[in-house]
Chain A
Amino acid sequence: MNRRLAIGLAVTGALVAVALLSLAWTPEPPTRLHIPFKLRPPLAGGLPAGLGLLGTDNFGRDVLSMTMAGAWTSLLVALPSVALGGAAGTALGLAAAARGGWFDAAAMRACDVVFAVPPILSALLLGTLLGPGRGTAVAAIALFLVPVFARVARGGARRVWTADYVLAARAMGRGAFGIAWRNVLPNIAGLLVVQASIQLGLAVLTEAGLGYIGLGAPPPTPSWGRMLADAQTFLGPAPWLAIVPGAAVALAVLGFNMLGDGLRDRVDRRGPAP
Chain B
Amino acid sequence: MARRAVVLAALLLASPAAASPRTSAVIGMSVEPTGLDPTVAAPVAIGQVTWQNVYQGLVRLDRRGAVQPQLATGWTVSPDGLAYTFSLRTGVRFHDGEVFDAASAKFTLDRARGPASTNPQKQFFSVIDAVEAPDPATLVVRLKQPSANLLYWLGWPASVMLAPNSADADRTDPVGTGPFKVARWVKGDRVELVRDPGYWDAAHAPALEAATFRFVGDAQAQATALRAGGLDAVPELSAPELFADFKADPRFEAVAGDTELKVVAGMNGAKPPFDDVRVRRALMMAVDRRALVDAVSSGFGTPIGSHYAPDDPGFLDLTGALPYDPAKARALLAEASHPDGLSFAIRVPQMGYATRSAEILQAMFADVGVTMTILPTEFPAAWIADVFKKHDFDMTIVAHAEPLDIAIYARPDYYFGFRNSAFDAAVAAAERAPDPAARNAAYGTAQRILAADVPALYLYAIPKLGVWTAGLRGLWTDEPIPSNDLTEVRWDE
Q: Measuring CB to CB, which residues of chain A are less than 8 angstroms from any residue of chain B?
A: 31-33, 35-36, 38, 58-60, 120-121, 124, 131-132, 212-214, 218-220, 229, 232-237
Contact = CB atoms under 8 A, between A and B. Distances in A.
A59 B245 contact: no
A33 B360 contact: yes
Given A33-B295, A218-B375, A220-B362, A213 B2 contact: yes
B374 A218 contact: yes
Most buried by B among A38, A219, A229: A219
A38 B374 CA distance: 22
Interface in B332-377: 350, 355-356, 358-360, 362-364, 366, 373-376
Nearest to A236: B245
B112 interface: no
Nearest to A39: B241
B219 A233 contact: yes
B1 interface: yes
B1 A233 contact: no
B3 to A, nearest CB: 7
A20 B362 CA distance: 25
5 contacts: A33-B295, A213-B2, A220-B366, A236-B245, A237-B244
Contact of B359 (A32, A36, A59, A236): A59
B220 A220 contact: no
Contacts of A233: 219-220, 223, 239, 241-242
Given A58-B241, A59-B295, A233-B242, A33 B376 contact: no
Interface of B: 1-3, 219-220, 223, 239, 241-242, 244-245, 291, 294-295, 350, 355-356, 358-360, 362-364, 366, 373-376
Given A36-B294, A236-B242, A237-B241, 19 more contacts: A31-B363, A31-B366, A38-B295, A58-B295, A59-B295, A59-B359, A59-B363, A124-B1, A131-B375, A212-B3, A218-B376, A219-B358, A220-B366, A220-B374, A232-B220, A233-B223, A233-B241, A233-B242, A235-B220
Given A58-B241, A59-B363, A234-B241, A35 B295 contact: yes
Nearest to A212: B3
B351 to A, nearest CB: 12
Contacts of B366: 31, 220
Please list the 4 inter-chain residue pairs (A to B) with the smallest Cβ-Cβ separation, ordered nearest first: A233-B239, A35-B291, A35-B295, A33-B363
Contacts of B375: 131, 218
A212 B373 CA distance: 19
Contact of A219 (B1, B295, B362): B362
Nearest to B294: A35
B241 to A, nearest CB: 5
Contacts of A132: 376
A66 to B, nearest CB: 12
A256 to B, nearest CB: 24
Contacts of A32: 363
B359 A220 contact: yes
Contacts of B356: 58-59
B350 A214 contact: yes
Contact of A220 (B1, B244, B363): B363
A19 to B, nearest CB: 22
Contact of B360 (A59, A120, A212, A214): A59
Contact of A237 (B245, B294, B295, B358): B245
A229 B219 CA distance: 12
Nearest to A128: B378
Contact of B1 (A38, A213, A229): A213
A208 to B, nearest CB: 13
Contacts of A235: 220
Contacts of B244: 237
Most buried by A among B294, B358, B364: B294
Nearest to B378: A128
A38 B240 CA distance: 14
B350 to A, nearest CB: 7
A60 B3 contact: no
A131 B219 CA distance: 25
B158 to A, nearest CB: 33
Contact of B3 (A213, A220, A236, A237): A213
B365 to A, nearest CB: 11
A266 B356 CA distance: 49
Given A35-B294, A124-B1, A214-B350, A219 B219 contact: no
B371 to A, nearest CB: 10
Contacts of A58: 241, 295, 356
Contacts of A237: 241, 244-245
